[in-house]
Amino acid sequence: MDCPGCGIQRSISHLVHGEFVEAFFMYPGIFPLIFLFSFLTFDWFKKIKYGEQIKLWATIFTMGTIITSYIIKVALIN
């Protein structure tokens, strides 16, 4: 049985090779994850106005994308 994180390593490999569309189809949550981790890192060094709200909504969007894509993948398997 697949987990919600299945495909992330292959997706990163596609990104390294410049295959952005393939990376998205392999793991749809890759781009929201990149944004979230980039923002968290940037906010760690320089405080941003409304940073807490942006972190909250970026986390909700990222988790929503991961969970939604997982549910769709499981539904298509069955």
pLDDT digits (tens, 9 = 90+) for 2-57: 777 788 999 999 999 999 999 999 999 999 999 999 999 999 999 889 999 999 99
Kindly list the domain boundaries of the chain, sorted by start residue. 8-77
Report the pLDDT value the prediction gives residue 47, as an integer from 0 to 100.
87
Q: How far apart are alpha carbons 29 and 71 in whole angstroms? A: 13
CB atoms inside a 10 Å sphere around CB 62: 19
User: What's this model's pTM, rounded to 2 decimal places?
Assistant: 0.82
pLDDT attached to residue 74: 85
